[in-house]
Amino acid sequence: MGARPVPLDELCRRAELVTVHAPELPETRGLLGERRLALLRDGAVVVNTARGALIDTDALVRHCATGRIGAVLDVTDPEPLPPGHPLLRLPNVLVTPHISGARGRELRRLGEFAVAEVERLSRGRPLRGPVHPADLHRIA
């Protein structure tokens, strides 16, 4: 496909679509702020399905309000957005209620998985989805 890693600033200058997939950590908060949003080319679209705090909301409003860029947001900061928030009124911004990946049975499957894990633990069997404290800093 010819894809290669590039620094984030270069990606912002070149991409027509920037999609954010990262955990919310101190170093990722505001990852797309005023400076990087200004680097985006005219007509670019920002997609965020990760964490709302990765994008500076005020800067995103300013850039989208000019019509220069657009956004598709499954997460926002704050979440949910208050009624009347500018992002909800802009024609070039689509906001979904944090369900973009949902297909209808996720909550049931998550519940069934959690119950199965408790049953495995109570029987002394290894967990299928253990989370280790050393990994918590990088988990979304």
pTM as predicted: 0.74
Return left, alpha or beta for 87; rule: phi > 0 is left, psi -120 to 50 is alpha, else beta: alpha
Listed in sequence order, the residues at least 6 apart from 53 whose beta carbon sits closer than 8 Å to its beta carbon are 24, 28, 29, 30, 77
Give pLDDT tens digits for 25-78: 999 999 999 999 999 999 999 999 999 999 999 999 999 999 999 999 999 999
Question: Whole-angstrom Cα distance, residue 18 to residue 58?
Answer: 18
29, 22 Cβ separation under 8 angstroms: no
pLDDT given for residue 16 in this prediction:
96
Listed in sequence order, the residues at least 6 apart from 88 whose beta carbon sits closer than 8 Å to its beta carbon are 81, 95
Residues involved in catalysis: 51, 79, 98
Domain boundaries, the chain: 1-100, 103-140
pLDDT higher than threshold 60 for residue 140? no
Strand 93-95 to 17-20 pairing? unpaired
Residue type, 94: L
CATH architecture of the region 1-100: 3-Layer(aba) Sandwich (3.40)
Question: Whole-angstrom Cα distance, residue 14 to residue 23?
Answer: 24
Four-point Cα dihedral 113, 117, 120, 126, nearest 10: 110
Residue with structure tokens 């199965």? 116
